[in-house]
Amino acid sequence: MKSLIEFLKDFFLNDPDGPPRSEEEIRADRRALKRTLLWTFAIGMGVVVVGMIGLMTLAGRAQGRLYGPEGAHRLIVPLPPVTFDGDGTLHAFMDEPPFGPHVEKHAPKKSAILGADRDVLVYLPPGYDKSAAPYPLLVVFHGYLDRPLHTLTPVVNQLDDKIRAGTMPPCVAIVPDLSLGGRGRDLPTTPLDDRLGSWGLNSNRGRYNDWIFDELVPWMRAEYNATDDAARTILTGFSAGGYLAVLTMLRDSSLADTVIAISPALDLRYSVNGDRLAAYDPKGYQPITTDDPNRPVVKLGPYGTYTDAWAFWPVFNSDETPGPVWKNDLPVWQRLKDNNPADLLRDEAPDLSGHAVYLVVGAQDEFKFFNQVQVVRPLLAKAGAELFPDDPIRPGHHEGTFVTEQMSLAFDWLGPRLSSQD
């Protein structure tokens, strides 16, 4: 076979001093040249792709290893273009709303409590009538790395589908932005990653819980005809959002009678002999009582190992500088204890009779939250909560597909319960 250079020379120069070439020889040379170029291109692209994967893997490992209280580049869940494809109406209070013919764009909501603009989604069902009887209200909390738009596929679009199918009664829903910086921003004035979540708590990073329940939910009820009846109010969320839904019920059981928590963090001090990721063992279970910013909370293989500093330091160490909420600098583990569903259930013995908790987690959950469920579920039952489903640990990972599948099943469970109250 001729070399590439020889083919090119013959093809383009066609040396007039050489022997005459037949048409068949010229066509054969051209076919060979095309094959050679295609193979060269394919091999070159393969080298580029392998190199990029290698660099991304090294970057991911460095991300996980290097992340500490001072901040490095962090794991953030990317958000692909999203669409609201329902028959209801989505009011998007944000600069970059989702796509869809029934999306109404509004300016971000101004918050007096937070002193900043915040993104908010409001869902209204098909045939929404402001003069009708108040609608059941879903307050939806996204995860630690997410934004309100991350709830469209697993929650909002599915809710609209269920309402259209008649398996859910018409409901309204509100989704607040729980990120620290708001609207997906990493503020240059702080050393931490403000794109991470606030956990929906009042801390020295901001009074996020007050914003949700003293400002946003009352506005929703007044503006959009949402019920104030706890029996028809549902708190729902996934990951850190599921944590907030359960914590809110424990702190004030009069707000909502029903909680749906998918893949929630329920025991922020979980450990077996100091290891957050160890399999649950009642004999070795020891709630954490020391601070270690390098203690792993999740291991993501080539994408690195993420630690307490990444998950908890941005909020639970915000008392390092005295502020309006936390005036004393306490150990992080103590702040976790004060805001931990497992500890509240153990220490305060709340009365959850008349409350329903739908709680599901993946058996392959990367954060090992199925261990925490084994600690907290018996405590919820002891407090009088009615628990669903009977099999809370199901095949799946800590990711969007699992949340979407389980929210669909949760809506199938919730719909008849709400309809029976009409």
pLDDT in tens, 128-149: 999 999 999 999 999 998 889 9
233 membership: H or E segment, kind and range: strand 233-238
More confident residue, 304 or 234: 234
Report the pLDDT value the prediction gives residue 296, as an integer from 0 to 100: 95
Report the pLDDT value the prediction gives residue 217, as an integer from 0 to 100: 98
**325 with 211: CB under 8 angstroms?**
no
Q: Is the peptide bond before 80 cis (omega within 30 degrees of 0)?
A: no
**225 with 209: CB under 8 angstroms?**
no
**Helices assigned H by DSSP within 67-172:** 157-165
pLDDT digits 0-9 by tens, 300-322 = 888 789 999 999 999 999 999 89
Q: Which amino acid is at 338?
A: D
Average pLDDT over all residues of the chain: 85
SS3 content of the chain, % helix, strand, coil (to 5): 40, 15, 45
Rounded-to-integer distance, Cα 201 and Cα 316, Å: 10
Report the pLDDT value the prediction gives residue 148, as an integer from 0 to 100: 92
Q: CB 191: neighbour CB atoms within 10 A?
A: 11
Report the pLDDT value the prediction gives residue 40, as an integer from 0 to 100: 54
pLDDT digits 0-9 by tens, 205-215 = 999 999 999 99
Q: How far, rounded to the nearest angstrom, does the alpha carbon of residue 198 sit from its chain's CA centroid?
A: 12
Using alpha carbons, select from 279, 315, 252 the residue that is nearest to residue 393.
Answer: 279
Rounded-to-integer distance, Cα 150 and Cα 241, Å: 12
Buried-exposed string 83-98: b where 16+ CB fall within 10 A, e elsewhere:
ebbbebbbbbbbeebb
Q: 59 pLDDT exceeds 80?
A: no
Report the pLDDT value the prediction gives residue 79, as an integer from 0 to 100: 59
Q: Is the peptide bond before 416 cis (omega within 30 degrees of 0)?
A: no
**176 with 166: CB under 8 angstroms?**
no
pTM score, two decimals? 0.82
Rounded-to-integer distance, Cα 86 and Cα 91, Å: 12
pLDDT band at 189 (very low <50, low <70, confident <90, very high): low
**Helices assigned H by DSSP within 67-148:** none
Using alpha carbons, select from 116, 110, 341 the residue that is nearest to residue 240.
Answer: 341
What one-character DSSP code corresponds to residue 232? G
Q: 124 pairs with which residues across the strands?
A: 89
**376 with 342: CB under 8 angstroms?**
yes
Q: 283 pLDDT exceeds 50?
A: yes
